[in-house]
Chains A and B, each alone.
Chain A
Amino acid sequence: MGAIYILWLREVKRYVRSRAQIVASLGQPLLYLLALGFGLGPVFQKSGNGSYLQFIAPGVVGMTVLFSSIFSGIGLLWDRQFGFLKETLVAPVPRISIVIGKTMGGVTVAMIQGSLVVAACLIAGFRPASMAGVAPAIGYMILIALVFAGLGTAIGSKLQDMQGFQLIMNFLVLPIFFLSGALFPLDHLPQALGVITRLDPLSYGIDGLRGSLIGLSHFGLLMDFTVLCGLAVITLSVGSYFFSQLEI
């Protein structure tokens, strides 16, 4: 228990202390929110879909949680060889405690980061349809964070070099974001894109957030919840397994 707590605390302290990094990582979501939210707003409105800012805000929150949680896991790549993680791997602590502490830390950081973006959305003019949706929205944020922290851990345990990191970024993380319906409605898509968005785990997270916050859901909240819970179990188990097999 002590080990899980201290490793969790380490992740949170690291985050809180790196102020420059906090500000930097807010830049991208804010750019999407403001540039796209206001820039595409009039077109979106004219096509009869209502306010684009309302629509994109849950997407931007989901994106923040995605990036933050998946990178906390992929960071294992250097942390295990050139960082503090190596110290934990020779400590008399079961690997599973290390992975739990680290993952929970990553999830907590992703939630703080996500909450900051929620605050920014509120300042920019986003309004949830009802206060009742706030609690389920927090639940969906946690689920997104769990799914991708697990995926990040799995990838971070397997990656061998920096080139691999670039590949993952361009061919996995960015597609997960762009094909999730964070930026566009999932209705009436061309068939191929429709299929791809259904295969993207983040689609269900964003859909859940949007359903909770503005009452607009494509798959239905129950479906979102079920899929995300199932995926979280899978990615966290695979992540822990790969981590336990890690040789340094």
Chain B
Amino acid sequence: MIRVRNLVRTFGNFTAVDNISFEVNQGEIFAFLGPNGAGKTTTIRMLTTLLKPTSGSVELDGLDPQRQQNEARRRFGIVFQDPSLEWEMTAYENMEIHGVLYHVPRKLRIERTEQLLKLFELWERRNDPVKRFSGGMKRRLEIARGFLHTPKILFLDEPTLGLDPQSRNQLWTHVKNLNEKEGVTVFLTTHYMDEADRVAHRIAIIDHGKVVAQGTPAELKEQTNSDSLEHAFLALTGSSIRDESANSTDQMRQFVKMWRK
């Protein structure tokens, strides 16, 4: 479903993604793990048409995300690291806008909206503005929205960041269910190793822009002689801390957080 070959992306002298290759099969839940600044989000941006690769190739369901942008975009749903809901509007309206933008026929849109909002336990609150939702509810709505146009692939970029264990648990249960029911391929990143261990069929670990290991959670543990994925991860990527200096995006993230309270 996703095929990445010798993918490279540089920003000036800095190589964010350094010649990575991997494949994700149809219907698989694939976790893409790595420390901060390893190149996860850059890779997701290239997979989702938002960034041009410096070299190498990407295929999404047989399409090139750069040359067949709109075709490719219809085939995936994405939940970004930063929220992308319209806060002043209701959950239902957010679904409606998404349906229109993705050319979902009206009748189907109404049916699927009801079905997904019920599944994600948001139907009762459908007419409440999103700004009154908790963090977990917003995330659930974003995932429900991502499923509305029946994508073949769902990208989740750190979807559980800042959620309590209950919400995280519930979110993954829903994602797993939809993966089984609709056969959607899931590509996710997270910093919580227990989550990856529990939901992912296969895992790739990226560090300094390179894929350092790939396999099922069991294989990775075996390969590193570790009893948990967290230990395997540390064995593969080392335990030094990657301090990124705060850039303008982080500063604005702070600003937006204050402003929306």
> Which A residues fall within an 8 A CB radius of B?
2-3, 5-7, 10, 13-14, 17-18, 77-78, 81-94, 160-162, 247-248
A91 / chain B contacts, CB cutoff of 8 Å: 73, 98, 101-102
> Could you tell me if B100 and A14 are in contact, using CB atoms closer than 8 angstroms?
no
| Minimum Cβ distance to chain B for residue A80 (Å) | 10
Q: Which residue of A lies closest to B51 (CB)?
A: A247
In the assembled complex, B88 has its CB within 8 A of some CB on chain A:
yes
In the assembled complex, B251 has its CB within 8 A of some CB on chain A:
yes
Chain B residues 43 to 85 lying within 8 A of chain A, measured CB to CB, are: 45, 48-51, 69-71, 73-74, 78, 80, 82-85
Q: Which residue of A lies closest to B253 (CB)?
A: A82
> Could you tell me if A14 and B89 are in contact, using CB atoms closer than 8 angstroms?
yes
Beyond contacts A91-B101, A162-B252, A247-B51: 12 other A-B pairs, Cβ-Cβ < 8 A, are A2-B100, A78-B252, A82-B253, A84-B84, A84-B87, A86-B82, A92-B69, A92-B73, A92-B101, A92-B103, A94-B70, A161-B248
> Could you tell me if A90 and B88 are in contact, using CB atoms closer than 8 angstroms?
no
A13 / chain B contacts, CB cutoff of 8 Å: 88-89, 93
In the assembled complex, B86 has its CB within 8 A of some CB on chain A:
yes
> Could you tell me if A10 and B89 are in contact, using CB atoms closer than 8 angstroms?
yes
Q: In terms of DSSP, what is the predominant structure of the interface of chain A?
A: helix
Contacting residue for A84 out of B74, B78, B86, B253, CB 8 A: B86
Once bound together, how far apart are the Cα atoms of A2 and B101, in whole Å? 7
User: Count of B residues near A, CB < 8 Å?
Assistant: 37
> Could you tell me if A14 and B84 are in contact, using CB atoms closer than 8 angstroms?
no
> Could you tell me if A92 and B70 are in contact, using CB atoms closer than 8 angstroms?
yes
Q: List 27 A-B contacts (CB under 8 A).
A: A13-B88, A13-B93, A14-B88, A17-B88, A77-B252, A82-B82, A83-B83, A83-B86, A83-B256, A86-B82, A86-B84, A87-B98, A88-B101, A90-B49, A90-B78, A92-B69, A92-B74, A93-B70, A93-B101, A160-B248, A161-B248, A161-B251, A161-B252, A162-B248, A162-B252, A247-B50, A248-B45
